[in-house]
């Protein structure tokens, strides 16, 4: 981790004894910091970077999604960096493969999200990611008042050894239709080897599914399939994008044929 980041966070952490680099988040620098005042997961984003708004959103939404997400303990900012210190939680990522014993915990975690009221701070965070891939009628069905985590995949669920579960990376929480979260989960399940029928058997256990109209589920599924195919076309060398597009198309076709 850059020494300028360590200098920036030191007033909140005391002496930084050790930093272990973590996975990347775009231009952000991340790491597990062992400090005089405890262990923190640190995410630092350069000022002026395109990811800065999402970093600020993640910090802003945190008080409203704890303890589903690790708590933010401090923020620090200067002319170069915006840094956030989260509780360092111990957990492994979730397994989405068919037969995984993690799936009930994944469903329970998403239901905990669905039980949260939409905070006032998120009122203006209307979900628009799919708008350019949707018809006007579909756009209307994408709207809603559900607080939504829009990056559902196995690496964003951390499962503790004593039954704890956290949903991390709240970088783009939005106000959207309830159908968005079960759609995102279903596509990830199909991409992980589930049949669309198996994926529906799981996502139909979510409260968000129950709160969604069939028309909304179909609209989100179709717009999501178009979006994933577009991204796959932009970067044909990245085969995982094509696999995700195939999964999204299979899910949309499944819903359309019900």
- Tell me the pLDDT tens digit for each residue of 99-137: 999 999 999 999 999 999 999 999 999 999 999 999 999
Same domain, 124 and 237: yes
pLDDT tens per residue, range 67-99 = 999 999 999 999 999 999 999 999 999 999 999
CATH number, domain of 78, equals 3.30.200.20
Higher-confidence residue of 24 and 175: namely 175
Q: How far apart are CA 152 and CA 183, in angstroms?
A: 9
Same domain, 35 and 77: yes
CATH number, domain of 113, equals 3.90.1200.10
Q: What is the mean pLDDT of residues 166-191?
A: 97
Q: What is the mean pLDDT of residues 178-185?
A: 98
Q: What is the mean pLDDT of residues 132-155?
A: 96
Domain final position from 65, 87, 109: 87
Residue with tokens 């915990």: 105
Same domain, 98 and 131: yes
* 72-77 and 81-87 beta bridge pairing: antiparallel
The H or E element containing residue 226 is helix 214-234
The H or E element containing residue 39 is strand 38-46
Arithmetic mean of pLDDT over the chain: 95
Q: For residue 1, what pLDDT is reported? A: 84
Q: Is 72 helix (H, G, I), strand (E, B) or coil?
A: strand
Cα of 20 vs its chain's centroid, Å: 23
Q: Are 65 and 86 in contact (CB under 8 A)?
A: no
Q: How far apart are CA 196 and CA 178, in angstroms?
A: 19
Number of domains in the chain: 2
Whether the predicted pLDDT of 258 surpasses 90: no
Q: For residue 180, what pLDDT is reported? A: 98
With a threshold of 0.85, does the pTM exceed it? Answer: yes
In this structure, what DSSP letter does residue 211 have? T
Same domain, 142 and 231: yes
Q: How confident is the model at residue 155 (pLDDT cuts 50, 70, 90)?
A: very high
Q: How far apart are CA 96 and CA 256, in angstroms?
A: 24
Same domain, 98 and 151: yes
Q: For residue 27, what pLDDT is reported? A: 67
Q: How confident is the model at residue 222 (pLDDT cuts 50, 70, 90)?
A: very high
Q: How confident is the model at residue 23 (pLDDT cuts 50, 70, 90)?
A: low
Q: 156: which residues sit within 8 A by CB, 6+ positions away?
A: 93, 149, 167, 168, 169
Residue with tokens 């995984």: 100
Q: For residue 147, what pLDDT is reported? A: 98
Q: How confident is the model at residue 15 (pLDDT cuts 50, 70, 90)?
A: very high
Same domain, 188 and 141: yes
Q: Which two tokens stand for residue 80?
A: 């170069």
Same domain, 72 and 143: no
Same domain, 131 and 49: no
Same domain, 132 and 236: yes
Q: How confident is the model at residue 216 (pLDDT cuts 50, 70, 90)?
A: very high
Range of the domain at 138: 92-256
Whether the predicted pLDDT of 26 surpasses 90: no
Residue with tokens 């802003």: 60
Same domain, 11 and 46: yes
Q: Which two tokens stand for residue 161?
A: 């050894």
Residue with tokens 């303990």: 73
Same domain, 106 and 182: yes
Same domain, 167 and 206: yes
């Amino acid at each position: 981790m850059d020494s300028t980041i360590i200098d920036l966070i030191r007033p909140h952490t005391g002496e930084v004894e050790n930093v272990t680099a973590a996975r990347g988040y775009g231009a952000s620098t991340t790491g597990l910091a062992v400090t005089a005042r405890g262990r923190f997961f640190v995410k630092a984003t350069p000022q002026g970077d395109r990811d800065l708004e999402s970093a600020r959103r993640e910090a802003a939404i945190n008080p409203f999604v704890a303890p589903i997400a690790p708590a933010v303990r401090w923020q620090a900012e200067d002319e170069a960096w915006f840094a956030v210190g989260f509780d360092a939680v111990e957990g492994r990522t979730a397994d989405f493969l068919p037969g995984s014993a993690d799936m009930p915990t994944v469903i329970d975690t998403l239901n905990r999200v669905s039980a949260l009221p939409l905070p006032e701070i998120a009122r203006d965070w209307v979900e628009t990611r799919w708008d350019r891939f949707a018809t006007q009628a579909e756009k209307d069905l994408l709207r809603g008042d559900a607080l939504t985590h829009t990056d559902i995949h196995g690496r964003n669920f951390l499962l503790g050894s004593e039954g704890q579960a956290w949903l991390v990376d709240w970088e783009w929480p939005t106000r959207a239709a309830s159908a968005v979260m079960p759609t995102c989960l279903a596509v990830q399940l199909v991409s992980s080897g589930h049949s669309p029928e198996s994926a529906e058997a799981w996502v139909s256990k979510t409260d968000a599914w129950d709160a969604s109209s069939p028309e909304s589920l179909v609209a989100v599924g179709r717009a999501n399939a178009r979006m994933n195919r577009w991204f796959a076309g932009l970067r044909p060398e990245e085969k995982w994008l094509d696999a995700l597009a195939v999964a999204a198309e299979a899910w949309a076709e499944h819903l359309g044929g019900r």
